[in-house]
């Protein structure tokens, strides 16, 4: 089959790398792609916001499946536009993508379907929101309703911070995303990410991971899109995975179908593992970045066939996803100044040396500048490796990181620390 993959980050490079290994793939196009993706796909200039142009490209190049990497085009209804033209899409409709696009939508769905999640109040007026804060203890979590590129969540430690966060959101600090807000009780526990693939009827687990959202070692500094991840997440035991499927993911998929918004694609559940059991923090309607990179490192099946079966509503007939028993770990190399104001243009060298260590490299925000590879985004490069433990995967990944010369960038040095400590304690 011919596939068009939309996006151009590390997540999409990992998807392109895995799709290119699919026996059922004929030709892979990526729009816009990046210099790493160009090694396994034909990169084309396409604006995912121009639905007609994407549909036209698909017809010209006889595309059998469009895989949408990022959330924005899905929330914007690209999948609906393409399906209306008879083109198969891996990714949810606009209505189903509300699971990521609107936090208030997801909270209300959790109420209707009895899905465990933090107690909340939604509000579209500042006065009502400030009054509602009185009902919550501390810390308290304030969220802009809409997409805010991962920045629309404030965990307030004091009443003054909470009051200020509410005021900032209604003052337009998060644009249209903050015209409606959700105030939530703070959940105590360890966070983990769980992935499932569904065609709206059948749901299959697609692995777990743990991300590192803060920019600095020891989980310090501002939040980022994610500085590194590993998969699987041992904290999500088989028993907990079963509970997450039964209590969170399956009821969500069933409710979406029953309400006429069948969800198709990958469903990414951000979970808090609390003393009372797993609770849903949020849904995303796409793969995580960099969680996707570690999932693709471990996935052993035909990704193209799995995605097409999902897009065509035939997931029940598809082979169940099979993953390597090994742990995959990835470290994000970011440009100096990330996340606030990443420096562009920093030269990156040593890619071949890093690959010679056995590591796998995914480009996230790179560009070619003459003979040089340079930084062209906040998160620039992902180095990944497999190992028999988190400790071993970490060692192998950092061997690759150490081989890269990127004076204009940095990486966290402690990705995987929670599990590395647990593994050391277990001996
Ligand atoms: P979200 O964008 O909803 O994933 O929120 C971003 C981050 O804020 C999460 O990864 C959590 O670390 C934190 N967070 C969000 N909601 C809660 C909550 N109810 N309790 C504790 N932490 C939360
Ligand atoms: N790494 C977090 C996310 O993709 O949302």
Reply yes or no on whether the pLDDT at 112 is more than 90.
Answer: yes
Q: How much distance in Å is there from the Cα of 373 to the middle of ligand 1?
A: 35
- Rounded average pLDDT over 332-354: 97
Give the ligand whose atoms come closest to the C-alpha of residue 289: 2
pLDDT score recorded for residue 177: 62
Rounded to the nearest 10°, the torsion over CA 420, 247, 238, 277 is: 50
pLDDT score recorded for residue 172: 80
Q: How much distance in Å is there from the Cα of 119 to the middle of ligand 1?
A: 13
Give the ligand whose atoms come closest to the C-alpha of residue 192: 1
DSSP state of 397: H
Q: How much distance in Å is there from the Cα of 339 to the middle of ligand 2?
A: 14
| Mean pLDDT of all residues belonging to the chain | 96
Of the candidates 251, 285, 254, the one whose C-alpha atom is nearest the C-alpha of residue 270 is 285
Reply yes or no on whether the pLDDT at 173 is more than 90.
Answer: no
Tell me the pLDDT tens digit for each residue of 377-390.
Answer: 999 999 999 999 99
Tell me whether strands 409-411 and 360-363 are parallel, antiparallel or unpaired: unpaired
Which two tokens mark 264?
Answer: 């198709």
Reply yes or no on whether the pLDDT at 178 is more than 80.
Answer: no
Q: How confident is the model at residue 174 (pLDDT cuts 50, 70, 90)?
A: confident
Q: How much distance in Å is there from the Cα of 370 to the middle of ligand 2?
A: 32
Give the ligand whose atoms come closest to the C-alpha of residue 195: 2
Q: How much distance in Å is there from the Cα of 243 to the middle of ligand 1?
A: 20
Best residue among 105, 122, 136, 141 to mutate for probing ligand 1, ranked by most atoms within 8 Å of CB: 141
Dihedral class, residue 102 (left if φ above 0, else alpha if ψ from -120 to 50, else beta): beta
Which two tokens mark 142?
Answer: 């304030």
Q: Could you tell me what percent of the chain has a pLDDT over 70?
A: 98
User: Strand (E) positions, 51-168?
Assistant: 65-68, 88-90, 120-123, 140-144, 153-156
Ligand 2 close to Cβ of residue 225 (< 6 A): yes
Reply yes or no on whether the pLDDT at 163 is more than 90.
Answer: yes
Q: How confident is the model at residue 179 (pLDDT cuts 50, 70, 90)?
A: confident
Which ligand 1 atom sits closest to the C-alpha of 150? 2
Q: How much distance in Å is there from the Cα of 193 to the middle of ligand 2?
A: 9
* R_g (Cα) of the chain, nearest Å: 21
pTM more than 0.85: yes
Q: How confident is the model at residue 403 (pLDDT cuts 50, 70, 90)?
A: very high
Give the ligand whose atoms come closest to the C-alpha of residue 364: 2
Q: How much distance in Å is there from the Cα of 284 to the middle of ligand 2?
A: 8
- Rounded average pLDDT over 331-357: 97
- Rounded average pLDDT over 180-192: 94
Q: Report whether 412 contacts 211 (CB < 8 A).
A: no
- Rounded average pLDDT over 182-197: 96
242 Cβ contact list (under 8 Å, min separation 6): none
Ligand 2 close to Cβ of residue 71 (< 6 A): no
- Rounded average pLDDT over 237-258: 98
- Rounded average pLDDT over 228-255: 98
Tell me whether strands 228-231 and 203-211 are parallel, antiparallel or unpaired: antiparallel
Which ligand 2 atom sits closest to the C-alpha of 270? 5
Best residue among 192, 282, 284, 288 to mutate for probing ligand 1, ranked by most atoms within 8 Å of CB: 282
- Rounded average pLDDT over 332-341: 97
Reply yes or no on whether the pLDDT at 150 is more than 70.
Answer: no
Give the ligand whose atoms come closest to the C-alpha of residue 209: 2
CB atoms within 10 A of CB 318: 20
User: What's the distance, CA 20 to chain centroid?
Assistant: 21
- Rounded average pLDDT over 204-220: 97
Q: How much distance in Å is there from the Cα of 288 to the middle of ligand 2?
A: 4
pLDDT score recorded for residue 297: 98
39 Cβ contact list (under 8 Å, min separation 6): none
DSSP state of 47: -
Reply yes or no on whether the pLDDT at 54 is more than 70.
Answer: yes
Ligand 1, atom 9, residue with closest C-alpha: 281
Rounded Cα distance, 178 and 144, in Å: 4
pLDDT score recorded for residue 333: 98
Ligand 2 close to Cβ of residue 226 (< 6 A): yes
Which two tokens mark 257?
Answer: 């179908």
Q: How confident is the model at residue 147 (pLDDT cuts 50, 70, 90)?
A: confident
Rounded Cα distance, 44 and 5, in Å: 10
DSSP state of 302: -
Q: How much distance in Å is there from the Cα of 208 to the middle of ligand 2?
A: 13
Alpha-carbon torsion 375, 376, 378, 380, what sign? negative
Reply yes or no on whether the pLDDT at 407 is more than 80.
Answer: yes
Ligand 2 close to Cβ of residue 293 (< 6 A): no
Rounded Cα distance, 209 and 416, in Å: 11
Ligand 2 close to Cβ of residue 288 (< 6 A): yes
- Bridge partners of 333, per DSSP, are 381, 411
Reply yes or no on whether the pLDDT at 153 is more than 90.
Answer: no
Q: How confident is the model at residue 34 (pLDDT cuts 50, 70, 90)?
A: very high
Tell me whether strands 2-7 and 65-68 are parallel, antiparallel or unpaired: parallel
Binding pocket residue ranges, ligand 1, CB within 6 Å: 118, 141, 150, 153, 155, 184, 186-187, 191, 213, 270, 281-282
């Amino acid at each position: 089959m011919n596939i068009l993959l939309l996006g151009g980050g590390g997540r999409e490079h990992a998807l392109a790398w895995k799709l290119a290994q699919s026996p059922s793939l004929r030709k892979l196009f990526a729009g816009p792609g990046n210099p790493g993706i160009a090694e396994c796909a034909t990169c084309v200039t396409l604006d995912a916001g121009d639905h007609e142009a994407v549909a036209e490209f698909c017809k010209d190049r006889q595309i059998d499946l469009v895989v949408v990497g990022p959330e924005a085009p899905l929330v914007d209804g690209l999948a609906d536009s393409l399906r209306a033209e008879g083109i198969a899409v891996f990714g949810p409709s606009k209505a189903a993508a509300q699971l990521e696009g609107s936090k208030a939508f997801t909270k209300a769905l959790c109420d209707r379907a009895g899905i465990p999640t933090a107690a909340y109040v939604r509000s579209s007026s500042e006065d009502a929101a400030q009054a509602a804060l009185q009902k919550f203890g501390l810390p308290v979590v304030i969220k802009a309703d809409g997409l805010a590129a991962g920045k629309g969540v404030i965990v307030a430690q004091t009443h003054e911070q909470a009051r200020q966060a509410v005021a900032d959101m209604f003052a337009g600090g998060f644009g249209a995303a903050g015209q409606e807000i959700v105030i939530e009780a703070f959940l105590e526990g360890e966070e983990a990410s769980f992935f499932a693939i569904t065609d709206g009827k059948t749901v299959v687990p697609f692995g777990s991971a743990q991300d590192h959202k803060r920019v600095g070692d020891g989980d310090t500094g501002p939040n980022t899109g994610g500085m590194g991840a590993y998969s699987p997440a041992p904290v999500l035991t088989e028993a907990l995975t079963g509970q997450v499927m039964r209590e969170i993911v399956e009821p969500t998929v069933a409710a979406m179908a029953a309400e006429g918004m069948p969800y198709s694609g990958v469903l990414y559940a951000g979970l808090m593992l609390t003393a009372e059991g797993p609770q849903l923090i949020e849904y995303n309607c796409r793969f995580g970045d960099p969680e996707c990179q570690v999932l693709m490192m471990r996935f052993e099946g035909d990704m193209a066939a799995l995605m097409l079966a999902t897009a065509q509503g035939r997931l029940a007939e598809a082979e169940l996803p099979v993953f390597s028993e090994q742990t995959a770990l990835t470290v994000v190399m970011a440009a100096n100044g990330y996340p606030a104001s990443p420096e562009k243009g920093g030269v990156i060298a040593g890619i071949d040396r890093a690959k010679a260590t056995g590591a796998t490299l995914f480009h996230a925000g790179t560009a070619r500048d003459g003979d040089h590879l340079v930084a062209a985004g906040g998160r620039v490069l992902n180095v990944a490796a497999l190992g028999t433990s988190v400790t071993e995967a970490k060692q192998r990944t950092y061997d690759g990181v150490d081989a890269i010369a990127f004076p204009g960038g940095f990486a966290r040095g402690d990705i995987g620390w929670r599990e590395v400590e647990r593994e050391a304690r277990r001996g």
